[in-house]
């Protein structure tokens, strides 16, 4: 595949929401969507930082994004943000579930869930569910959920993982399970959209090894300055840029010929390079596990995503 951002079609008239757009992959994704004519909303937890990023995106693209205050680790914030969006807009063409945390010390969301599964999966599950009324009003809506090759490191997920205790906590196991949940959710959303006859395409992406703040965030939260510096050096020596790391997300978000349920990653061993179709693990493709995860997520968030054809 010889794809680059020059292949992104004109997105004039399309409205997109990108979560986690104040840095890294989310910033680069929002930037390219703006450059190609989309109306872009950026979900961000810190309003002051978001305002600065919004201006930086405007300076770089010539188009001003709209800031949406959103904390995916707080289900009340998700509900409030989705409520404002549904009250303001009549349709949403694209949702990029990009925001995430990686390998954090043991922490909990405001609702008492383990931070990584709570932010990376449950926050996005609730957001997507609450925004479905806007998505189904678009003529060809698309939801892109960003996962990681780290989903391949775990063999399953259980409901107990949502509220796992601090004792015996493994930050990398928790991260892998949150990324497995992303793929399970993406594929189940696609199955349900097809069964309901809804014109909504669900796809997934992963960036390979891209240099972002994600690698240093966990050590910084744990106060591990040395490890944070090691991660920075690793990013400098081995990682591809965040701009290139965003290519799979952008391909999944904009390619007109993308098959439903596609999972896109870097072409070279899944770590770097141009985007290509990738294959999730057998566990991630298990429809029974995906259905169980869907039900557990409804019980955890109180959000039951309704996929119905608009009248």
- Active-site residues, by number, are 147, 175, 179
Q: Could you give the C-alpha distances from 7 to 40, 45, 246, in angstroms and in order?
A: 19, 31, 14
Q: Cα 172 vs. chain centroid, distance in angstroms?
A: 18
- Which stretches of 62-114 are DSSP H helices? 75-88
* Three-class HEC string of 147-183: CCHHHHHCCCCCHHHHHCCCCCCCHHHHHHHHHHHHH
Q: Coil, strand, or helix at residue 57?
A: helix
Least Cα distance to 258 among 202, 206, 191 occurs for: 202
DSSP secondary-structure letter at 209? S
- 311 CB-near residues (< 8 Å, 6+ apart): none
How wide is the angle at C-alpha 18 spanned by C-alphas 12 and 20, nearest 5°? Answer: 150
Residue 63: both structure tokens together: 């188009």
DSSP secondary-structure letter at 184? H
């Amino acid at each position: 595949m010889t794809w680059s951002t020059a292949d992104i079609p004109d997105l004039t008239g399309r409205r997109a929401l990108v979560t986690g757009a104040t840095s890294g992959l989310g910033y680069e994704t929002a930037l390219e969507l703006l450059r190609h004519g989309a109306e872009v909303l950026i979900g961000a937890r810190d309003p002051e930082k978001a305002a600065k990023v919004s201006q930086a995106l405007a300076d770089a693209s010539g188009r001003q994004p709209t800031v949406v205050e959103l904390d995916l680790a707080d289900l009340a914030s998700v509900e409030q943000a989705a409520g404002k969006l549904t009250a303001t807009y009549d349709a949403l063409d694209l949702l990029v579930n990009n925001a995430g945390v990686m390998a954090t010390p043991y922490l909990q969301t405001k609702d008492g869930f383990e931070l990584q599964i709570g932010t990376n999966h449950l926050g996005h599950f609730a957001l997507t569910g609450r925004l479905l009324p806007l998505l189904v009003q678009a003529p060809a809506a698309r939801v892109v959920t960003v996962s990681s090759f780290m989903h391949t490191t775990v063999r399953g997920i259980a409901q107990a993982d949502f509220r796992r205790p601090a004792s015996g906590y493994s930050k990398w196991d928790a991260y892998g399970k949150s990324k497995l949940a992303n793929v399970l959710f993406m594929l189940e959303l696609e199955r349900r959209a097809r069964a309901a006859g809804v014109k909504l395409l669900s796809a997934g992406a992963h960036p390979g090894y891209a240099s972002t703040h994600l690698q240093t965030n966990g050590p910084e939260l744990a106060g591990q300055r040395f490890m944070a510096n090691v991660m920075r050096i690793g990013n400098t020596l081995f990682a591809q840029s965040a701009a290139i790391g965003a290519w799979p997300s952008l391909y999944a978000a904009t390619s007109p010929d993308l098959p439903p349920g596609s999972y896109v990653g870097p072409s070279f061993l899944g770590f770097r390079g141009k985007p290509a179709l990738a294959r999730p693990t057998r566990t991630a493709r298990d429809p029974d596990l995906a259905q169980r995860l869907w039900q557990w997520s409804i019980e955890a968030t109180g959000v039951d995503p309704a996929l119905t054809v608009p009248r």
